[in-house]
Amino acid sequence: MKIIHKLGGRAVKKEGEGYFLLTDKAGSYLSLGSKWNITHMQGLFHLDKNWNMYKSVENIYLDKDITEIENNFTHVVRRYGDSEEIFSLTATALIYEVKNYSGYINLDLDFRDMFDFDDKKRIYVIEEEDDTILIHYKKHRKYLAIKGVKDYEIIGDWERREYLYDKVRSTKHDFYIYKAMRIKCDGNLKLFITFSESRKEALSYVKSGFTNESVLKNILHLRKKSVCRKENLTSNAAIYALDSLRTIIGKGNHRLEGVFAGLPWFYQFWARDELISLKAFMIEERFEFVKNRLMNYLNAIDETGRIPNKLPSSNLNSADAIGWLFKRLYDFLTILEEKKCLEDYFSKDDFIKIKHKLHFCIEEQMARYMKDYIMYNDVNETWMDTAVNKDDGRPGACIEIQALFLSLFKLMQVLCKHLRLTYFGYGTLEKLFVKHIKKEFFKKGDLFDRLGDKTIRPNVFIAYYVYPELLRKYEWMIVFNKAIRGLWLDWGGFSSIDKKNPLFQANYTGHNNLSYHRGDSWYWVNNLAAICMHSLDKKKYHHFIDYIYHANEEELLYSGFIGHSAEISSASEQKSEGCIAQAWSVATFIELIEKLKRNT
């Protein structure tokens, strides 16, 4: 199958096996690809009021073999020789077009919450109202409306489907889907498909989609024009992928805008993931959005001096999200100052508020989590948040947590400057902490991943990224060289643990987490590592930087959900694994692209 990306007069193409993902930026997404989906989390999904992803359409396809998938950003074209389908997902309706095809269009359904595996009492009622087909799923009182059908026949059969990627992940992989109907097409056909919990709304939406087709498509076009402003197609693909995860939930006073951590299953606002991703939005000068998200998190600081791990909430705590909040505030103020527009976004009152919150967090962090000048965290509180059979989970004192704490003082110095206050007391504390942290963590050329733990992991790159002042340049080079020897993967990434460690897994093991932080290569960390190597010594490390860039580009364009960056890859060979469209993967790639462009 040929994979094509087309933007204006530019196009790239390559043979491959990929799938597509479209979002409406309001919580719904469509993912299809080859004739059969590889996971039950593909299809047409809708975020409901309880923050659950609900599936309606399993698949819609022609009775021919797919030969090409073409990503046009606003829409996707799926070709079958001379015939083609065009998918446009708007906030009102899915617009599905078929051109140059005589035969039947197959519509398969699978109404269920993403993780609801109950197959009892599954009854679909298919009826017509005026010129619209209305499908009622009685069990959950959901409705699918389809407008534009001229002739069809009801199939009404159940068919067992086995999803290969779900099987690889060792999750439930066999489902029964409902083969609802075959829709007759003589040449060209255009369908409008809407979903709702209300019969009246479903019919209203589908009528609106039909009536306002040109308006809805123009909105998609304007979005593409606003987002895709680069000359390079790869850059535009990355930026558009990240923008597609920027999502508005709710309306009016209940409206909330943020960045989904990933799709198909990380459809929440994870603090750590979103804060790391915000640097890319700064690069794209989405300053109002960035400020809103940063101030939203600032207001969410609790009595412990931390922020919630995610929205909706979870049982996992985060030791590092608060550090990333203040790191990104520091980055944001720096960028605005460079562009001479700081006063357009922050007032003196804003600086006072941020300084007050920052001072509070420093005090609480020291009182609650510090011992002998070292910061401690509990099991699964860092970004490496899995423990298998009580192994690992990284409890104790972790190197990137120390660096993130130190980075708080860099922001404090900036705030003191703008408020014309002395930094002397904070500066004395910063030097004291640096001295003790370096003494305890850096010994004989080893920068410990955890206090007393010489396991080689890529967290040293995160430490450099947030607080390079911890070591001298030659010391960082020693640390980086050791990390490269222990972690480098020839396809262009880093393992999440030393390849000689007994916990190392060469291949992705899926849902059991055995490989997740014990071998799997994380695209966001690879990008951060390349950024760090470029800052430290771009000539010395150019080979590794180039390999990381090209591995990311290949994965973005031609693997997994085409035009999106996956969460992880097996160490043994490059693949698109984990969550197949991940915000911080593509956000840090945007940051790497900018770093290479500026050559700084």
Separation CA 340–CA 337 (nearest Å): 5
| All structural domains of the chain with their residue ranges | 2-227, 233-598
pLDDT attached to residue 317: 86
Fold designation for 2-227 = Beta-galactosidase; Chain A, domain 5 (2.70.98)
Residues 546-591 pLDDT 10s: 999 999 999 999 999 999 999 999 999 999 999 999 999 999 999 9
pLDDT band at 279 (very low <50, low <70, confident <90, very high): very high
pLDDT attached to residue 535: 98
pLDDT band at 389 (very low <50, low <70, confident <90, very high): confident
Q: How many CA atoms lie within 13 A of 338 on its CB side?
A: 9
Give exposure, 262-279, as e/b (b: 16+ Cβ within 10 Å): bbbebbbbbbbbbbbbbb
pLDDT over 80 at 220, yes or no: yes
Q: How many CA atoms lie within 13 A of 227 on its CB side?
A: 26
Separation CA 316–CA 512 (nearest Å): 17
Sign, CA torsion 227/229/230/231: positive
pLDDT attached to residue 17: 86
In CATH, 233-598 is 1.50.10.10:
yes
The label of the residue with tokens 């939930």 reads: 249
The answer to whether the beta carbons of residues 361 and 408 sit under 8 Å apart is yes
pLDDT over 80 at 600, yes or no: no
Nearest CA-CA partner of 524 in 586, 439, 576, 595 = 586
Q: DSSP per residue over 127-194, as a string?
A: EEETTEEEEEETTTTEEEEEE---SEEEEEEEEEEE-HHHHHTTS--EEEEEEEEEEEEEEEEEEEEE
pLDDT band at 18 (very low <50, low <70, confident <90, very high): confident
Separation CA 55–CA 264 (nearest Å): 11
pLDDT attached to residue 573: 98
DSSP assignment letter at 510: G
For residue 523, give the 3-state DSSP assignment. Answer: helix
Mean pLDDT (the chain) is 96
| CA 179, chain centre distance (Å) | 32
pLDDT over 90 at 234, yes or no: yes
pLDDT attached to residue 123: 96
The answer to whether the beta carbons of residues 258 and 247 sit under 8 Å apart is yes
Tokens linked to 99: 């051109």
| Cis bond upstream, residue 458 (ω within 30) | no
Nearest CA-CA partner of 373 in 289, 438, 446 = 438
For residue 158, give the 3-state DSSP assignment. Answer: strand
Residues 157-169 pLDDT 10s: 999 999 999 999 9
Residues 292-338 pLDDT 10s: 999 999 999 999 999 999 998 877 789 999 999 999 999 999 999 99
The answer to whether the beta carbons of residues 129 and 203 sit under 8 Å apart is yes
